[in-house]
Every structure is written in C-alpha cells, then in structure tokens.
Chains A and B, each alone.
Chain A
Amino acid sequence: MIKNIFSIILLALLISSCDSNDENINKKILINFSHHVDGQELSSENMNHTNLAGESYNVKTLKYILSDIKLLGDNQTEILLKDIHYVNIDDASTLFFESNLVELGLSTLYTLSFTFGLNSNINTPNNYVNELFHPTMYWPEPMGGGYHYMKLEGAYQNDSTFYNTHTGPTMGMDYSFSFTEDININNSIENQEFLLSMNLNNWYQNPFTINLADGIMMDMPIQINLKENGRTDVFSLQGILDK
C-alpha cells in the first residue's frame, strides 16, 4: 500500500515537472515605433504642430536611443529583448525590431521596460564605436562625453528659425529615464507585436512647459524638465493583434 502511494506521488511529481517545461512558450517579440504630435502625422515642411507654449513647429529630424529593452515577469524574471535600439525616422529599418526567440512561462502578465537614452554606466566616450549611431549621436567630451539620447530638430515660428531639442548627459549627469508598462502576452499566437508611440508634444508639457530653443545641451534645468516630461507620458504602448 505504502509502495503504491509512493509510486503515485513520484509519478505525479515527474509529470508535473515535465509539464512546466513543456508549457514554456517560445516566441518573438516585435516592437514597432511610431511618432506623432497629439495624433497628427509628423510634418517636416509646414508648421502644422503647436506646443503648449503656443509655438508652431515642424519636425525635420528625430533620432533617439533606447537601451536595456526587456520583459519583466513575475518571480523577478527578466528577459532581455535588445541591448540598444537606435531610431531614426528617416531610416525605415530602424522603425521596428524583432527579438530573438524568448522563452516565456505560462504567465500572460509581463511588464515591458526600457531606458530612454543610455545610463551613465554605459554612456561613455567611444563605447559604441561600431554602432550606426556613433557618429550622429556623439556627445562631446567637454560637455560630458558619450552619446545624445535624442535629437529632435525642426523649424519653429518661421521657416528659418530652428530648434534643436538635444537631450543627453550634460556635464556627465544622467538624465536617462525608465519606461515601464504592463502588457498581456497572448500565449495562443506565435509572435507578439507591440506599437510604441511617442507623442512629441509631450516633451514640451506635463509637468513642465518648455519653449523650443536652438541650443540646450548645456542647460541642466531644461534637461531635467525634459526628463520629467519624458517619463510622464511621452511614450505609450499598445499590443497589436497577430496577423
């Protein structure tokens, strides 16, 4: 009798241990990037956009870096999707990325997180010489060294007055910030696709109203305010149904 009970328990343990492995799901995570101004498509020619300060503007350049893009699961599990992703709206190949196959558990609840920019541990001079962004996002050593987090540029007020919203490590300070958002993973579909949207107007509002300006790389208060605005509601994430 005892023998039988022992055998049943052992068998049950073996089956349950097999189950947990079998039920892990391998899938790719796809992130698409989109950019708008309060729902408006970006305009590079006409002054179609208006910020909270009442300044009309257009967008000619938008380049930025995200780092440490990962999924956080329950039990403190972390799944790295990509170390660094560089977005340039003029280069369609940068407007999405696909992770390698990642192994997910049974849980459908995860948090997607990334760092906007590069944190100070990795944002050092010449740390990414072989990355596409090395020459364009370079941040001079006399200003702190490393790389811009973002270059957002265009004309404002009139065609020949330009703004340069450049964020980065002013004098070595770390103004990168984290974004996290809970997501649902659908275990019944092969690959999961998300759309990460940036509302450009929100860089200039909530909580701080910021005016467009031609040079802010050495302006610490503005860098701090941009960071706060950025972490508040510049980004939003939504799932896309598998095609």
Chain B
Amino acid sequence: MYKGVYKIIICTLLFSCQEDLPIIQGCTDINASNWISVANFDDGSCIYYQTTPYQIITPFGFPDMIVPVNNQLTVEGIELGKKIFNDPILSANNTLSCSGCHIKTNSFTNNTRFSTGVDNIEGSRNASALINLGWNTSFNWDGSANTLEEQAFEPVINPIEMHDTWVNVENKLNNDITYINLFKNAFGIDYIDSNHIVKALAQFERTLISVNSKYDKWRRQELQLNSSELNGFAIFNSEKGDCFHCHGTEMFMDNSFHNNGLDPGFKFDDLGLAYVTGDPLDNAKFKTPTLRNIEYSGPYMHDGRFSTLEEVIEHYNSGGIYSNTVDPLMKKIGVGLQLTNSEKQDLINFLKSLSEPDFINNL
C-alpha cells in the first residue's frame, strides 16, 4: 500500500521536473553590451562594447597623471562626460549645469565672487578653475575630496548648488534614450547609476589640460618672453617675490594647503582644511590653485575677495596679516615683499604669460 503511494509521489515529482522552462533567446553573456538577464539560450547575438582608449601625453615637467584603475580614459567616456558637464539635467529644476558655474572662457570658473545655485542661494567660496586637475591629489579649497570622481558627487546634491538627488538624476538619465546609448557605449551598462555619471564627468575633467601658453612656448624655445615678462619670471623664482614655494614646478601649484595671511585668527569665517582634518593647526589653510590661466580665472582667493591680479600682488607686497596658522613662507608679515611698482607690473606680466587663449576658445 505504502509502496504504491511513494510511486505516485515520485512520478508526480518527475513530471513536475519535466515541465519545460520557456526558452528565451538572446545574449546570455553578462560582459556583452546587449546582455539580456532573462535570456537562457544564447543565440549568438552578443555585442561587445568597444571603447577607444584615450592617451594623455604627459606634458613637460609634469608627473604622470593620476588616473584611477577603474576609470581609465576613453574617447566615449570623455565625450559623455562633456555632454553631462554641459547639461542642466543634473540640477533639481534642470536649469543649472556644471558649465553654468565653470565657464570655459573663464578657465572653467566664472567671474563672480560666489556662484548662485538653483534656489538662488549664493555659496561662500569662489568656484575653482577646472584646469590640469588630473595632477591634483585633492580637490575643493579645503581638500574634502580625494579624487575627481568623489568630488563630482558633491555639487549635484548640495542644497546651495544643484540641489538634486542622485536617485532623481539617475531616473532622468535612464529615461533618456540618448544617454542610455551613450552610457552603454562608454561603460557597457544598461542602467545608468551615479557611479558611472561621476566617472564620465571625471574623465572629461581630466582632459582639461592647459600647457600651451606663451610661457610654455618660451620654454620650448619657440618664442621669446619680453623683458618685463622675463623680469617677472626672475622675481617669481627668487626669494624676493617668493611665489615659487607654493606655485612652483611646471604645474604652478604644490598640491598643498597654506594660510597666506588673509585674516587675523579671531576672524576666520572659513576654517578651510581644518573642516576636513579637525585640526585647529589647519585653520584657514586652503589649497594652492595653479597659476596657469590665472588671467582668466579671477576673482581670486578661496572667497574671491580680490578682483584683480594687482590686488593679489598688493596683498603679498604688504605682507598679509598674522594668525597662529599663517605659513612661515609669509616671511615678513606686515612688511611684505616691498616690490616697486615696476616690479609688480613685471610680475603681473609674467603671470599673464601663463595664459593660453586656445584653451578657453577652442577646446
């Protein structure tokens, strides 16, 4: 009796096993760009996305560019990053793109002291110029981001900038067939996520390279600097002008942070690096910006307090203001460099030789 029941159960199980799953044909290779997750029969249709590697030629006197191993530059990724950079789709009300504050003709910053976000709220720091970023080891005036990818996460969700959410941005892009195809071509993905959006932005930003100024042409012996520019170069690279200690090398920055004597200690409105490290000895230290294209990227300092290069030079010429974190390189607080008017002008003329018109016009 029991034997018979068992046989019936076993037969039932066997029959249930024999029920055929529907065959779904398609590409079953997860590495292919047209992978279909529900496909169970490979029909040979797999297409593998192919990207074109983009080679950065290391400029004279520069280190090798820092490129994350998981975000190597490709032509497709850079083009995509450029499109996103210029698209207001990243902002909550679709009115503000990255390029809204980082304008090409201003060396990818803008000429206002503070930028205004989508809610008409003004920030408290001057927008940084986006130039030669691939050689920076930290980002933002206070060094709060360690990579360009990390940095790109911030403005989208910052309430005083784009004030969007990443979920919303992802939804917007995933509803746009153009972006779906571009992301598939660049990264081989079907669903656009924030990680790949910032990867594309970072790829584009790494290509914003300016190394073809009048100064560079002089270094390559293609032309001659005039006597004023040459004198400015000499002052820049002497202890008299002492610009080189922070703005040295062909990068014209030191990848470091300094308090350059802008305010007395009791009046620090912005703690700069100390916000990140929590160390009071870092109060009012800010990242050294490159001086390349400095002519285009005013106003100057982390809070854009100086409108002109003349004002900047005058700050150093008068020696700055003491505070307990002021850099010892500000050697003569309250005394300053004591440059003559002619020397100051020479210095400014040299700084302007670091401008690359093609960079802001033809990129």
Contact = CB atoms under 8 A, between A and B. Distances in A.
A126 B250 contact: yes
Nearest to B325: A60
Nearest to B332: A214
Contacts of A163: 328
Contacts of A155: 328
Given A134-B249, A136-B256, A155-B328, A143 B238 contact: yes
Interface string B57-101: 000111110000000000000000000000000000000000000
Given A140-B237, A162-B332, 7 more contacts: A61-B328, A136-B255, A138-B244, A142-B237, A160-B334, A162-B331, A164-B331
23 contacts: A126-B60, A130-B64, A135-B251, A135-B253, A135-B254, A135-B255, A138-B244, A140-B237, A140-B238, A141-B237, A142-B234, A142-B237, A143-B237, A143-B238, A153-B328, A161-B333, A162-B328, A162-B331, A162-B332, A163-B328, A214-B331, A214-B332, A217-B239
A44 interface: yes
Contact of B238 (A130, A142, A159): A142
Q: Residue among B63, B328, B332 with the most chain A CB within 10 A?
A: B328
A240 B184 CA distance: 58
Given A126-B250, A135-B254, A164 B328 contact: yes
A159 B324 contact: yes
A140 B248 contact: yes
Interface residues of B, number: 31
Interface of B: 60-64, 233-234, 237-239, 242, 244, 248-251, 253-256, 281, 322, 324, 326, 328-334
Interface residues of A, number: 29
Contacts, number: 71
Contacts of A160: 322, 326, 333-334
Given A160-B334, A214-B332, A217-B239, A129 B62 contact: yes
A182 interface: no
Contacts of A141: 237
Interface in A131-184: 134-136, 138, 140-143, 153-155, 159-164
A44 B248 contact: no
Interface in A36-58: 44-45
A176 B237 CA distance: 22
B336 to A, nearest CB: 12
